[in-house]
Amino acid sequence: MSRSESTMNRRRFLGIAATACMMPLIVKTKVLGREGFVPPSEKIIAAHVGMGNRGGEIMPAFAGNRNFSLIGVCDCHRPKAVSAANRLKEWTENPIIFEKYEDFLERKDIDAVICSTPDHWHTKISVEACMAGKDVFCEKPLTLTPTECRQIVAAARKYNRVCSSGSQRVMEDYGYMAPVIQSGAIGEVKEVYCGLSGPGQTAYWPEQPIPEGFDWDRWLGQARYVPYNEERCSGSYGGGWRRWEDYGNGFLADWGAHKFGGSLYALGLDTTEPVEILPPDGKDIPFLTLKFANGIKFYHATGGHDITIVGTLGEYRHGNRDLKPIKTVDVRRYSGGANNINDDFAWCVKHRLRPFQDFEYGANTALFCQLASICYKVNRPLRWDAEKTQFVGDEQANRFITRAQRSPYAIPNID
């Protein structure tokens, strides 16, 4: 019997025993699982780490989802955790504030972890959650380096966990493009343009006093130690930590998780890695280019592009709902009739399936953005060996495949 089956049977037994002692004459239908409600014994018990801007946005999607019971929150900035816990009272009686995510990993009654921390924490928390027997929903971009891409997928597979990366836009914004492209409506695809901002930058900020209740050392995690400045850790979608290469790979990776991810999905290439990356040269190569072995080229583009896919029979721009598939094709979709990424994750946890944005897809998209970022750094053509997870014959570029990790925040090794 699996851990999840054992946990569910235990909860069902406790629920029946309690009911036998205290059964009222009339039982509300939602307790019985009718009217679209799910009995408590069937809910996925979850805890949520990372309660900044994105965490505050997605918390209600889990707390208010009939498939989940979100019992507590965690953040290294305690005022954010307290604020989130107060909001959570709308759905959860007496929500728990966990001081550290490790505290809820130790609990046997928690089935799943929701992670919406800054990017440099994603892999460590996800790997350790898998090791603790938890399923994982982790926000995008899924990883920080190519090495982490391998680690996070290896953990999901080794510990047989259901793990979803969190780009809802891949399906919900761009999913309609997949059957059109894969049906051959624009012929053989040759080029893809994705309009995105640039890679991460180096941050130089003066020291400021650390706010009360903020564990700054823990927020930095594996990243190098630097003095506190609010601009380093701001969750602002217009800037903040996403800009800085210590904690992310810039808006290239942040929105690349959506646009490159949506394009790779549309072409059915989201388990395939490019073989060559070319920097722009101001002449023959106007945009950074990622080339696949089959000849398809992806461009990190500017000039009004969102997603534009060019084929031998024409081009297809995001937003064009008039173009239809010319034949029926089988494309990957959310499972169980779900129409959003949260319900897809819930269905897959309950049925032990790989979700629509399984870690393999999220890691592959993150890698795509990381290869582009590294090419910008070294500013020369690179060849990528996916089997060896390294660039061919380029020692300098290979130094960026992994990063030094500060103790005690290193990611555990997965054998």
Distance CA 64, CA 70 (A): 9
Q: Phi, psi (5° rounding) for residue 326?
A: -95, -5
Determine the pLDDT at residue 40.
Answer: 73
| Domains, the chain, with CATH or none | 3-166 (3.40.50.720), 170-200+251-398 (3.30.360)
List the chain pLDDT tens, one digit each, 415 residues: 444 444 444 444 344 444 433 333 333 333 334 445 677 779 999 999 999 999 999 999 999 999 999 999 999 999 999 999 999 999 999 999 999 999 999 999 999 999 999 999 999 999 999 999 999 999 999 999 999 999 999 999 999 999 999 999 999 999 999 999 999 999 999 999 999 999 999 989 999 999 999 999 999 999 999 999 999 999 888 888 999 999 999 999 999 999 999 999 999 999 999 999 999 998 999 999 999 999 999 999 987 789 999 999 999 999 999 999 999 999 999 999 999 999 999 999 999 999 999 999 999 999 999 999 999 999 999 999 999 999 999 999 999 999 999 999 999 998 7
Chain centroid to CA 387: how far? Answer: 23
Neighbours of 207 (CB within 10 A): 9
**14-49: burial string, b at 16+ Cβ within 10 Å, e else:** eeeeeeeeeeeeeeeeeeeeeeeebeebbbbbbbbb
Distance CA 301, CA 285 (A): 11
Nearest-5° Cα angle at 66, 64 to 70: 55
Distance CA 230, CA 362 (A): 29
Among candidates 296, 264, 253, which has minimal Cα distance to 175? Answer: 264
Strands laid side by side in the 44-49 sheet: 96-98, 68-74, 44-49, 112-115, 135-138, 163-165
Q: Which helix (H) or strand (E) holds 298?
A: strand 297-301
What's the half-sphere exposure (Cβ side, CA atoms, 13 Å) at 96? 17
Q: Find out whether 144 and 400 touch, Cβ atoms under 8 Å.
A: no
DSSP state at residue 413: P
Strand 382-385, strand 390-391: pairing: antiparallel
Q: Which residues pair with 391 in a beta bridge?
A: 384
Q: Express the helix, strand and coil content of the chain in percent, nearest 5 each.
A: 35, 15, 50
- Per-residue pLDDT reduced to its tens digit, 233-286: 998 888 889 999 999 999 999 999 999 999 999 999 999 999 999 999 989 999
Q: What is the DSSP string of 113-177?
A: EEE-S-GGGHHHHHHHHHHTT-EEEEPSS--SSHHHHHHHHHHHHHTT--EEE--THHHHTTTTH
Token code pair at residue 215: 């564990």
Distance CA 203, CA 172 (A): 34
Strand 96-98, strand 68-74: pairing: parallel
- CA-to-CA dists, residue 402 to 131, 290, 384, 415, angstroms: 21, 20, 15, 17
Q: Which positions ≥6 away from 320 have C-beta within 8 Å?
A: none
Q: What is the DSSP string of 342-393?
A: HHHHHHHHHHT---TTBHHHHHHHHHHHHHHHHHHHHTS-EEEETTTTEETT
